[in-house]
Chain A
Amino acid sequence: MILAVTGGKGGVGKSTVAYNLAAQLDGAVVDGDLAMADLPASHGPDLHDVLAGRAAPAEAVRDDGPVTMVPCGRTLAGARASDPTQLAETLDTLDRTHRWVVVDSPAGLRADVGLPLAVADAAVLVTTPSKAAVTDALRVRELARELDAGLCRVVLNRTDPDTATDPVADRFGAPVVSVPDSEALATAQRHGRPVDRTAPDSPAANAFETLAAGVYSCSSV
């Protein structure tokens, strides 16, 4: 199953959510931000090479870290040499060998956001409680609708205990999972580890567990 983690606005925590969700689902996370990759890089073929036809999708899969990952190259030249239309086929190929393929999408509404949505079975939208972030996430929801990617969950990131989730759920028409502002989560992400390994009992780890359970329920519908 292909899940597109997207949100419109930059800096709302899409990569953190994608990474931790993939960890919970025991799936593979694909860094789909072709020009400004976020997830940890390593040596060897990456998504740029796959999209430029220089490597097979399987060659770009790294399963030696805490989370199975397809990293993306860091160079603009690599991004320019990539053919974004190959993303759909690449994700389909990965989908055949992985139960869950979680795509960390870039910010914005360009084709690098639309292409994963076009091939995804479901979308997870990430937003912070700020008005600007919610507005952008609503735009992406419209795009997801047009491209037939069902909205599975909205992640309301960096909430404090007073944040109300119901109004957000009403606006998006989907269940909301709240991820509290968390030092443990930020530290785990900085070290390239999922928070359920570094702080398994933290509220953030519990939130991702809830999110994963929600995603499971979408897949069984």
Chain B
Amino acid sequence: MVRFDCSVSHRDGVTLVAAYVRELDAPTRVDVRNRLDGPVWPPRSEGVPEAGWTDAGFAGVLAPGSHALGYATPASPAAPAAELVDAVPMPDADPVGELTDRPADVLRELGDPSPPADVVPVGPPSVDDASGPATSHSTASSTEPESPMPDRERAPRPSASDSAGATQSPVSDTAGSRVQQPGARADDEHARLPPALGPWMAAMERRTDTAESLAAAETVPEATAAVREAGGMTGVRELAEAADERQLRLVARRARRLADRRAGATVPVETLSSLA
């Protein structure tokens, strides 16, 4: 006789449901449905949902014995979280999880051969791209790394009829991702620096502005104004000889190294407070 029960836990906004199907005597086709008010996030291998999982829950043939079927959902916990809708013994059926020659099974079992997103160059297409339909290739490189979706759901797959449109749309996507960069830099400039560093950085910005206007001056009146702003020829010489760039780069390097070290050191507040 089939026994069914389930347990629920809630953590970080995600509800984890464990449904147990116990004591199957023979291969049995079971239909376990999610009762919570949210989508089923099934277990996945290599980005592909495990065999038998659907949007509604699990439907598939289980081998004799006891099984745990676990899934996650963003819905709030409730009881019962899942229900066993149907359980029909099918002595001759193959249980799920065995390697078949269905493409999804093969992919799940052997692993996705696609190169990882990190190795895909972002930016203008290389010379190699010109050998194929260049627009479509650059599409993938510019949009994919930003997509949070699992592999196989990520790439939009236009049908043959709208393929002409598909080669057009990436252009705007690419532009969209690029305009973010100057915006990000502006944010950096307005971010508040630590008090000890602020005045020095402001002075460096002023000196850089002055150096830029000295460099850009093309007429005598412009040069005169720029030299006056720099504090006369003494100021100009001092500015020319100052090691501003070296100092700024030194600070940047040290700051980057420190930031990397800081990123690697997570302060275990909870552990320490439980010990204290």
Contact = CB atoms under 8 A, between A and B. Distances in A.
**Size class of the contact patch on chain B:** 35 or more
A1 interface: no
A139 B129 CA distance: 35
A79 B167 CA distance: 17
A47 to B, nearest CB: 10
A203 interface: no
Contacts of A52: 136, 140, 155, 157
A73 B107 contact: no
Contact of A35 (B115, B140, B155): B115
A180 interface: no
Contacts of B46: 111
Nearest to B104: A85
Nearest to A34: B113
Contacts of A106: 113
Interface stretch (B36-44, B118-126, B213-221, B245-253): B118-126
Contact of A114 (B106, B125, B132, B139): B106
B157 A53 contact: yes
Contacts of A147: 99, 101, 106
Contacts of A73: 131-132, 137
B94 to A, nearest CB: 13
Contacts of A74: 128, 131-132
A45 B166 CA distance: 14
A77 B152 contact: no
Contacts of A118: 101-103, 106
Given A114-B109, A119-B101, A146-B99, A81 B160 contact: no
A78 B121 contact: no
Contacts of B138: 77
Contact of B152 (A48, A85, A87, A113): A85
Interface in B127-150: 128-129, 131-133, 136-141, 144
Contacts of B160: 53, 56
B113 A84 contact: yes
Contacts of A146: 99
A54 B136 contact: yes
B169 interface: no
A110 B113 CA distance: 6
**Size class of the contact patch on chain A:** 35 or more
B273 interface: no
Given A73-B131, A85-B103, A147-B101, A110 B110 contact: yes
B158 interface: yes
B107 A84 contact: yes
A43 interface: yes
B163 A54 contact: yes
Nearest to B111: A110
B132 A111 contact: no
B274 interface: no
Interface in B159-202: 159-160, 163, 166-167
A79 B136 contact: no
A47 B131 CA distance: 13
A46 B132 contact: yes
B139 A81 contact: yes
B161 to A, nearest CB: 11
Given A48-B137, A77-B137, 5 more contacts: A54-B158, A75-B125, A75-B137, A112-B113, A118-B101
The 4 A-B pairs with the shortest beta carbon distances in the complex, nearest first, are A81-B140, A118-B101, A112-B113, A85-B103
12 contacts: A53-B158, A54-B158, A75-B132, A77-B129, A77-B144, A78-B136, A80-B140, A83-B157, A111-B46, A111-B106, A111-B107, A147-B106
